[in-house]
Structure 1
Amino acid sequence: MSWRELLPPWLVIVAGLTGIVLLCVSTKDVPIAPLRTKYGIVLDVGPSRTILFIYQWTTTKANKTGVIRECSSCPVQGPGVSSYSDSPQKVGESLEACLNWAQKEIPAEQHSQTRLYLGATTSMRQLNLTNATLSDGLLAALTVALKSSPFDFQGAQILSSPYKEAFNWVAVNYVLENFFKYDWRGQLVPSGKGMAGVLSVGGTSAQLTSKVEEENQAPKEGVRLQLYGQTHNVYTCHCPCHGTDQLRSRLLSMLIQDQRSAKTVSNPCWPLTYSREVQWQSVHAGPCAASDDTSDIPGPEEVFNITGSSNPTACMRLVQSLLNSSSSCSFFERSLSGVFKPLQTRFLVISEAVDFMRDTVPSPDLGQAVNRLCGMSVKEESHTSLDTLVDYCVVSAFIFHLRTKGYTFDFDRSVWTAFQKKMGDTSSGWTLGYLLSQTNTIPQDSPASLKGIEPRVWSLLFILFVVLLTGSFMRISYRVIVKENSFSNRNSSVFDDN
C-alpha cells in the first residue's frame, strides 16, 4: 500500500489523539452554584403579638450575604409573651400550632438544617429592665419549647432599639434594591443608588434611622453591619415622646391648659363636629407630660369635652409650637451637628397616618396633602374608625414640621406600593433585615463542578475534528473510487477476452 493510502488514516489518528490530549490537559473545574432552597425562621416577639416568619432563598450568595426571595407567616394565637408573666410554662404551648405549621411548610429533609431565631422587642425589653428574673423565666420557657422542635434553634435574644431599627433599615433598603439589582442577564450587580433612611412613627415613640457615610462620624451607639461585602454604620435617633399616642396626649394637654376656662375645648386638628370626653389624668401623665405652669392645672379626675374645629392652619401652628418646646427629641438639634448628618438622605416614612394620607389624599406636595387631611370632615372619614383617624392629622403635621427642618421624605406612591407588596407586614420588617445579616454566618453549600474548556481551545478542537471528519470522508471516498476502478477494469478485460 502506498503512502497516499496511509495518509488519511494517519491524519485521523493524529487529529483524534490531539483532541483527546487537549481535552485532558486544557480543561478546568467550572463551579456550578447549587439551586437547592434553604429556609430560615424568625419569631418576632412583639408587645401585643408574636408572629413566626418563614423565609427562603437559594444557596447562592452575593458577597457572602443571602438573597432572600419569599416569606410566609403564622400569627401565634393569644396575647404577647409578656402577658404570660403569671404562667411562664404556658408561653411555650402557645407556639405549638405555628411550629407544626412550619414543619408542613418546610420539607422534612430540611428541618435539621433550618435555623430558627427568636427576637423579642419593646415589651420584653421593658420587662427585662423592670423584672429581669421574670423576663429570663419567659425566655427560658420559650427556649425549651423551641429546642424541642426539629429545627436548628439558635437562641432567644432581646433586641435593643438601635438594633431593631437598624435591621428595619436593612429590610427597607433591601426591598428597594439599594444594595444591589439584577441586570438584563439576571445577574446581581451593584445598584449604584444611595441608601434610604427610615422614619418610623409608632404608638409611643418615633425613630429616625440613617447610614453614617464616614466611619469617623459614626456615633458610639450606632450599629455596624456587614452586608454584601460592604460595611454599613447605621445610627438611630430615638424620640420617646413623639409617637402617635404621645403626640395626641401632649397636644390635648396643651389645649386644655390654654382653654381651661372654657366648658368645651376646641381642637383644630380634629374633624369638624367630632368630639370626645377626656379626663385630665389620661393626657397629662407619665414622663412625656410637661407643663410650664404647674400652679393652676386641672384636677386629675376633671373631664373635658374636646370638639374638633378642622382648621389646618391653626393645627400646623399648634403642632409647631408643641415641637419647638420639645427637649426630648434630637431630630431638631443633634442631626444638625457635625457628628451626624442625615439631612442629605431621603427618608421613607413608615406610619399608619402616612399610609392613610397616601391612599386618600394623593398629592406630590406634602403641605397640600397635610392641609387636605387636616381639613377633612367626619363624613369623609366615616368609613374607618374615627377614634384612630383623628390622630393622623397631628402625625402628618409632625412629619411636615420635620421637613421644614431640612429632612427629605419620599412620598412617591408607586415606590410605596412596590415596597408594601414586597415587604408585607412593615411592622415586622426587622425580621427580614435580621435574617439577611445572619446569612453571613450560614455556611454556603460546596458547589459542584464541571469540566470546562477555554474558548480558544474549543475553536482548535472544532477545527481538528473537522479535519478528522474530512480525512475520514476522503479515505472512504478514495477506497470507493479505487474499488469502482478495479471493478470496471475487470469487467473490461472480461469483455475484451470474448
Structure 2
Amino acid sequence: MEESRDSRVKRFLTSNGMVILGFIFILCLIALLAVGLVQNKAQSENFKYGIVFDAGSSHTTMYIYKWSAEKVNDTGLVYEIEACKVKGRGIASYRNLQEIPVYMSQCMGRAKDVIPRFKHQETPVYLGATAGMRLLRFDNKELVEKILSSVSSLFKSYPFNFQGARIISDAEEGSYGWITINYLLGRLKEKHSPKSLFWRKNESQSTYGALDLGGASTQITFVPVNETHTSSEMLKHFRLYGRNYTVFTHSYLCFGKDQALLWKMARNATQLQSDLLLEPCFHPGYTTTMATRKLYGSYCSRKFNNLDQGDTIRIQGTGNFLECQRSILELFNASFCNTYDCVFDSVHVPPIWGKFGAFSAYYYTMSFLNLTSEDVSSEEMVTRKMEEFCSTPWAVVNTTFADVNKKYLSEYCFSGTYVLTLLQKLGFTEYWNQIEFLNKINGYAEAGWSLGYMLNLTNMIPAELPPPKPFSRPTYITLMVFFSLLLAVVFILGSVIFQKSSHFWK
C-alpha cells in the first residue's frame, strides 16, 4: 500500500516536473529568439533629399536627388530620382518677373509629391544659374538681382529648406560636370554590392575628362598629368569619398552653341551691302528673317552692330560645309575677343590625354547626326557626314525630319560643324576616338553639373549615425549565452526525467 502511494507521488512529481521544465524551456526559447530578433532587426534606411535647379541659358531643369544619411567617407551616395524640365525659356530671358512663379511652380509642385512630407523642411533647395545669367550680368546687373530675388521669394514660399539662388562660376560649372560623369561612370567609386563600396587605387589615372557645351559657354575639365605650368586659378580641388582630386578647368564664354551662331552671323552681317545675308551654315533653300535687335542684342555679338542696317535681315542658306567651317574658325581668332573668357589662344591648356565624356549640346547635336557610335572613329568620317548633310536641300531635310522643331533642325548644319571645329581647336584632332558622347549614363542620370554640385554639397551636410542597437554588444552576447545554456540544461534534465525516471528517483 505504501509502495503504491509512493509510486503515485513519484509519477505526479515526474509529470508535473516535466510540465514545469517544458514551460521553462518554452520561455527560454522565446527569450532567446526575442533578443536575437530585436537586436538584429533590419532598420529602415534613413534617406536625405536635395533639389537642384539648373538654370541654363536656354532652359531650366529641376533635379531631385536622394542619398543615405549615413554617407561614405563623408560623401553621400547620391541618386537622381526625378528630373522636371521647366516649361519656357531660360530665366535670363524673362523681363516680366511676375511670370517666374508660373514658370517654376509646376516642378516645385512635383517636388512636393515626390519627397515624403516629413522630409520637406529638411530638404535643401539650390538654384544655380549659368552662362546665360553671366552674360546678362554684364548688361544689366540690377535685372539679374531682381530675377534672383523673385526666384528666392518663390522658393521660400514652399515648405523646403531654401539655400539660395545664385550664379555659379564658370569654374564650378566645369568641375561639377567632371564630378558628375566620373561618379556615374564609377571612376570615383565602384559599387560592388548595395552595402559594399571599393575604390580604385589611383583615381587620377582612370578618371574621364569632361567636355560641356551649352548655349552661351563651353567648358573643358580634366586631371592634368603635370600641374607645374598650369595657373592656380584654373585648378580646382575636391575631396570625394576620402580621396583628393585636382582638376584643370576652364570655361569659354560666348563660345556656347547659340551665342557662337549669333556672333558669327553678326560678324558676317557687318560686311553686307544690302539686307540679305548668304549663310553657308544653313541648308540650300532655307530662308528666314531676323530682327537686327535680336542679332546684335547679345553681349557676344553687339560689338558688330551695324547702325546703318534696317530693322530686319534676310538670311538665305547656301549649304557649304567648308565655307561654314571657315567662317567659324574666324571666331577663334584672338583679335575678335574682348573678354578674357573668350580667348582661346591665350589660355594655356595642359596636354590632352585619356578618355573624355562630351555631354549637353555635344551629345544632342552628334546624336541627331548619328555620329555618337563607336563606328565613328575619325575626324574624316565626321567631316564627310557634315559635307553631305549641309549640302542637302532644306526641302528634303524638312520633309525627312518633319517631327523635329524647325528652329533646331535648321541649325544642325551649323551645330555639327561647330562641334567638329571646337574639338579641333581644343586639341582633339588626333584623339577623336577617345571622346564618348554621353547623355543618360547607363540609363541612370543625365550628365551635367547639377549632380556633381549635389555630391560636393553632401560633404558639408552632416552625416547621421545609425540608431543605436537595443542592447550593447557585451549585454547581447551575455543574454544569448545565458539563455542558450539554460535551454541546454532544461533539455538535458527533461530527457533524463523522461527516459530514466525510476533511476532518477532512486
TM-score in terms of structure 1 length: 0.70
Residue in structure 2 matching 1:72, options 82, 87, 100? 82
Written as runs of structure 1 = structure 2, the 5 A alignment for 1:45-444 is: 45-76=55-86, 79-82=89-92, 85=95, 87=97, 91-92=100-101, 95-183=104-192, 187-191=196-200, 194-212=206-224, 217=230, 219-249=232-262, 269-274=281-286, 300-301=309-310, 306-310=316-320, 312=321, 319=328, 323=332, 328=337, 331-332=344-345, 334-335=347-348, 340-352=349-361, 354-362=363-371, 363-367=375-379, 368-376=381-389, 377-378=392-393, 379-380=396-397, 382=399, 383=401, 384=404, 385=406, 386-402=409-425, 403=427, 410-412=434-436, 416=438, 419=441, 421-424=443-446, 426=447, 429-444=448-463
Q: 1:33–1:60: 8 Å Cα contact kept in structure 2? A: no
Which ranges in structure 1 are unaligned for 5 or more consecutive residues? 1-28, 488-498
* 3-state SS of 2:121 partner: helix
- Secondary structure of the residue aligned to 1:113 is coil
Between the two proteins, what is the percent identity of the paired residues? 23
3-state SS in 1 of match to 2:461: coil
Rg comparison, structure with higher value? 1
Structure 1: how far apart are the matches of 2:491 and 2:190?
Answer: 52
- Which runs of no fewer than 5 residues in structure 2 stay unpaired? 1-38
Give the equivalent residue in structure 1 for 2:22: none
Sort the Cα spacing of 1:330 and 1:112 in 2 relative to 1 into closer, same or farther, 3 A.
Answer: same
Task: Show CA shifts across 1:8-37 (max 9, x none).
Answer: xxxxxxxxxxxxxxxxxxxxx999986122
Using the TM superposition, give the Cα deviation of residue 343 of structure 1 relative to its aligned residue in structure 2, in angstroms: 0.7
Q: What is aligned with 1:22?
A: none
Indicate how the Cα distance of structure 1 residues 130 and 291 shifts in structure 2: closer, same or farther if over 3 A, else same.
Answer: closer
Shift of 1:438: 0.9
| Pair 1:47–1:31, CA change in 2 (3 A) | farther
Contact 2:59–2:89, Cα closer than 8 Å, also in 1: yes
Contact 2:180–2:452 (Cα < 8 Å) also in 1: yes
The AA in structure 2 aligned to 1:189 is F
Contact 2:59/2:91 (<8 A) preserved: yes
2:377 is matched by which residue type in structure 1? D
Whether contact under 8 Å (1:59, 1:444) holds in the other structure is: yes
Quick one: structure 1 residues 253 and 409, their matched pair in 2 at CA, closer, same or farther if it must change by over 3 Å? farther
Are residues 410 and 417 of structure 1, via their aligned partners in 2, closer, same or farther at CA, if it must alter by over 3 Å? Answer: farther
| Residue 171 of structure 1, CA deviation | 1.5
TM-score of the aligned structures, taking structure 2 as reference length: 0.69
- Structure 1 residues 254 and 95, CA, compared in 2 at 3 Å: closer, same or farther? closer
The aligned residue for residue 42 of structure 1 is 52
Count residues in correspondence: 440
For residues 414 and 258 of structure 2, the distance between their equivalents in structure 1, rounded to whole angstroms, comes to: 8
Indicate if the aligned counterparts of 1:76 and 1:97 stay in contact, CA closer than 8 A.
yes
Instruction: Note the C-alpha offset of 1:210.
Output: 2.4
Task: Name the counterpart of 1:24.
Answer: none
Contact (CA 8 Å) 1:218, 1:233: kept in 2 or not? no
Distance 1:104 1:277 in 2: 44
Partner of 2:443: helix, strand, or coil?
A: helix
Whole-angstrom CA distance in 2 between matches of 1:356 and 1:160? 25
Contact 2:53 2:63 in 1 (8 A): yes
What's the Cα RMSD here?
Answer: 4.7
Separation of aligned partners in 2, 1:155 and 1:223? 22
Q: 2:58, 2:89 within 8 Å by CA — same for their partners in 1? A: yes
Q: Deviations over 1:59-105 (max 9, x none)?
A: 231211111123213444555444555546x6456544443332222
